[in-house]
Amino acid sequence: MTDKVHLGHRARKRFGQNFLNDDMIIDKIVTAIDPKPSDNLVEIGPGLGAITEPVVDLSGHLTVVELDKDLAERLVKHPFMGPKLTVHQGDAMKFDFSSLIKGDEKLKIFGNLPYNVSTPLLFHLFEFADHVEHMHFMLQKEVVKRMVAGPDSKAFGRLSVMTQYYCHAMPVIDVPPECFKPAPKVDSAVIRLIPKKPEQRTAKSTKILNTVCLEAFNQRRKTLRNSLSNLLSTDELAQLGIDASKRAENLSLAQFIEIANWIYDNKQ
């Protein structure tokens, strides 16, 4: 058997399939999720069930969203897990997570995410922040670094601003390549995301906040005077107490929100 065949399944690169194969790491992830029978749990990309099995053992039920038809079918037919799972075969990036809400019970979402689509998938998930209690994701370590980075650092960018706008973000553990089959070429890490309360998310339009980030970080070496010139002038930045000779990476989350709200109020 080659390294690409694991538990009788040939890993599909196009679906970002790197299966967890390390009991200690799996244990740590499950401990971080802390599944309980009353939880409304959702796993993205259960694959061959490395995290699914110990979680469903503790929770008794779990909803999963898996793109790979063969793997989804395998889970449905699984003798022990199958009856305890609700399997949605499809693309998590198109999935309406709010459809899983029952009463007041918020979702607890987790997954070892396909690295090739992790950023758009995170942005899709942020849209459901009001319905989510917490999220735990295995990601490329570089992505986790960017999500938790603060201003004045190279890793600080649109993903940092938007992650921290929606969530409190904390790294949980680092995971080396040899914990997966096949081993990815990059280091990995698990992040815990706890959505902020709606009243803490003060942008009047998240679309505008995202646009400001896109423009500001598009050419991150440029000063704000240049990078934001399509959106507001140096004088308008000064009205907000922002020095136009600074760069995007020097702004705080609060300043990004202030800029976005000013545009919402004055340029709509």
Considering only residues 28 to 57 of the shown chain, the ones binding ligand SAM according to CB under 6 A are 44-48, 50-51
Q: Closest approach of Cβ 30 to ligand SAM, in Å?
A: 11
CB of 14 to ligand SAM, least distance (A): 8
| 74 neighbors 62 (Cβ within 8 angstroms) | no
Question: Does 169 engage in binding with ligand SAM (CB under 6 A)?
Answer: no
Between 19 and 256, whose beta carbon lies closer to ligand SAM?
Answer: 19
Decide whether 115 or 262 has the Cβ nearer to ligand SAM.
Answer: 115
Q: Closest approach of Cβ 266 to ligand SAM, in Å?
A: 39
Site string (100-129) toward ligand SAM, x via CB under 6 A? ------------x-x--x------------
| CA distance linking residue 77 with residue 154, whole number of Å | 47
Quick one: 50 or 209, whose CB is closer to ligand SAM? 50
Please, what is the minimum distance in Å from the beta carbon of residue 146 to ligand SAM?
A: 19
Q: Closest CB to ligand SAM belongs to which residue?
A: 45
Does residue 68 interact with ligand SAM by CB under 6 A?
A: yes
Contact status: 210 vs ligand SAM (CB under 6 A): no
